[in-house]
Amino acid sequence: MNEELLVDEQEFSWSLSRESLFTFCPRAYFYHYYGSVGGFEQFSNVEELYQLKKLQSLDLWINSICSEVLRDFFYEKPENFNIHRVAKRYFNQGARSLSMREWRDDPQRLNLFESYYGLTEINELIEHGAELLNKSIESLIESGLIDYLQGIPYLNRKNLSFPVSSHIGKIKVWFAPVLVWQEDGLLKFLTLNNGSSNKIKARYSAALHKIYAFNDLRTDPERVVTLNFDLTTGETIALPDEEINLSELIDHVKDNTEEMLSLSSDHDKLVENNFSKNTNNCSKCKFQKYCKRT
Ligand code: SF4
């Protein structure tokens, strides 16, 4: 794929996951954000790249089920909500689709990295996923988080359109808290991690919430708290305000955006070869099948 693709700098949007992929490997970043564009259309010549872009790891899938279940529970307030049953329903839908390899006809369907690349048999992966989900749901219950959330008055729950976006200067920034609510004069954001929490990312994520609250909700950043729940340990951590530096995040987003955009050859064009390959990460990369041929 050596033709030039156009990039609109005005439309550029930044997120922590975008930055992570760029750090992981600039070439993988190119495939994900540019090379696979349009790959969902029939007869597209980048269908394979799009299929690879949609691959996700087992951990990420389980994390996303937990997020969906919590949002259903918190915002939809259904009668007799049974968290185990709802989680199982989401899980079974995905597992059925994965077993039938529905992703072959529809790349939007679940496809897991571990089975696609033959690291784990599908049945074994599904079994492992079921255990992981069960443990995660137990953590949510045993930690007391579910009871605590149940006590938040319905009118204090802020049902935003997830993921959420805001702006830093002209740069659009995206982030995905699981839940948001008001309590005791504070605005609280809940995020989930599955044992892979990174301190710097946690700080940036908490700073993004403060910037969003200030820009879009007219809320004093000092009244914003981010709670980060670990699905593997059942612990919730809230970073102290001294560790959350808004100026640091703003500078970081601007520098990182400039670095990503500097790889366009002529400020509005992108060429695959400008994005270097980081061959240290190939065994963990979802694009390895395509990349090894190029
Ligand atoms: S296979 Fe390796 S070089 Fe290619 S995109 Fe992935 S990490 Fe980068």
User: What percent helix, strand, coil does the chain show, rounded to 5?
Assistant: 55, 15, 30
Q: Quote the ligand 1 centre to 101 CA distance (angstroms).
A: 25
285 lines ligand 1 (CB under 6 A): yes
12 Cβ contact partners less than 8 Å away, ≥ 6 residues apart: 171, 172, 257, 260, 261
| Contact in structure between 97 and 107 (CB atoms under 8 Å) | no
44 lines ligand 1 (CB under 6 A): no
Q: For the chain, what is the largest distance between any 2 Cα atoms, rounded to a whole number of angstroms?
A: 58
- For the record, the structure tokens of 237 come out as 């951590």
49 lines ligand 1 (CB under 6 A): no
* H/E stretch holding 269: strand 269-270
282 lines ligand 1 (CB under 6 A): yes
Please list the alpha-helical segments (H only) found in 45-198.
Answer: 47-53, 58-71, 83-99, 113-116, 122-142, 145-150
- pLDDT recorded at residue 3: 52
The answer to whether residue 175 sits within a structural domain is yes
Q: Quote the ligand 1 centre to 109 CA distance (angstroms).
A: 23
**Are 23 and 125 part of one and the same domain?**
yes
Q: Is the dihedral of CA 27, 28, 29, 30 positive or negative?
A: positive
**Are 90 and 12 part of one and the same domain?**
yes
**Are 113 and 47 part of one and the same domain?**
yes
| Contact in structure between 21 and 28 (CB atoms under 8 Å) | yes
Instruction: Count up the domains in the chain and report the number.
Output: 2
- The whole-angstrom distance between residue 6's C-alpha and the CA centroid of its chain comes to 25
Coil, helix or strand at residue 237 = strand
**Are 83 and 128 part of one and the same domain?**
yes
pLDDT digits (tens, 9 = 90+) for 100-147: 999 999 999 999 999 999 999 999 999 999 999 999 999 999 999 999
245 lines ligand 1 (CB under 6 A): no
- For the record, the structure tokens of 243 come out as 């560790």
**Are 133 and 11 part of one and the same domain?**
yes
- pLDDT recorded at residue 2: 47
241 secondary structure, DSSP code:
G
**Are 89 and 122 part of one and the same domain?**
yes
Q: What is the pTM of this model?
A: 0.91
- Mean pLDDT, 10 residues at a time, the chain of 294 residues: 55 92 96 86 79 96 97 87 95 98 94 97 97 97 96 94 93 96 97 85 96 96 96 94 95 95 72 93 97 86
- For the record, the structure tokens of 181 come out as 């609510």
281 lines ligand 1 (CB under 6 A): yes
**Are 132 and 161 part of one and the same domain?**
no
> What burial letters (b/e) apply to 126-164, b meaning 16+ CB within 10 Å?
beebbebbeebbebbeebebbeebeeeeeeebeeeeeeb
The answer to whether residue 274 sits within a structural domain is yes
53 lines ligand 1 (CB under 6 A): no
**Are 132 and 156 part of one and the same domain?**
no
Q: Which domain holds residue 126?
A: 5-143+267-291
Q: Quote the ligand 1 centre to 289 CA distance (angstroms).
A: 9
- pLDDT recorded at residue 294: 78
- For the record, the structure tokens of 57 come out as 């790891």
**Are 139 and 12 part of one and the same domain?**
yes
**Are 175 and 235 part of one and the same domain?**
yes
Q: Quote the ligand 1 centre to 23 CA distance (angstroms).
A: 12
